[in-house]
Amino acid sequence: MILDKNYKGLEFKNGRYFYDGNIETTENLEIKLDNLLEVAGYIKASWSIEASGSIEASGYIEAGGSIKASGSIEAGWSIKASGSIEASGSIEASGYIEAGGSIIAGESIEAGESIEAGESYGISAALYITAQDTISCGLKIFAGICTWKNTEDSDKTITCSKLLSGTVEYGILKETGEAKKKITIDGKEIEISLESFDALKRSLEEGR
């Protein structure tokens, strides 16, 4: 499926393209736009997602194959791909970022929960990598490898509650300890680990 400026329901305002709903296809999704695409819902493709610019969704972004953008990738919930996740800009999600392959960003990688790459792959960012929960991958992790400015320690810091797997090849690892998340059940607020919260969210997501 090709999404260009003639896509039904697509609006152009404030220098960006906006779609008030979900974008979903059982095919590859090719986004051919010269400005940022902002989606009010989620973006989902049974195969790969490829964008000529930046993509932003208030919900999740999910692909049965890889996700690749010439700009940045941002989700209000999670970003998940069976293949790799790659952006020339930043990769950011309020929830988790999960790839069956590698995770590569031309700028920073940030997740409100965990960051996980495949068992035979690594994670690479030109700037910092931050996860409120855990980080895991099968191979090496690189942070702060940009060639377009002089980096400071903050540019090459890998921050997470705990590094579960993977080797920091370049960067400064900062483990903060187990992160917590507050949820409300039957009117009562309780605190659980982000790992447990992540598992609960994934279970609900799979049942949707």
Domain boundaries, the chain: 2-179
Query: What is the secondary structure of 106-161 as a DSSP string?
Result: SS-EEESS-EE--TT--EEESS-EEESSEEEEEEEEEES--SSS---GGGGEEEES
DSSP state of 206: H
Using one digit for the tens of pLDDT, what is the confidence trace for 149-208?
A: 998 999 999 999 999 999 999 999 999 986 666 677 777 777 776 667 767 766 776 665
CA distance 59 to 74: 10
pTM of the model: 0.86
Residue 38: name the closest of 9, 65, 67 by CA.
9
The structure tokens 């999960």 sit at: 98
Give the mean model confidence (pLDDT) for residues 145-149: 92
Question: 110-144: per-residue pLDDT in tens?
Answer: 999 999 999 999 999 999 999 999 999 999 999 99
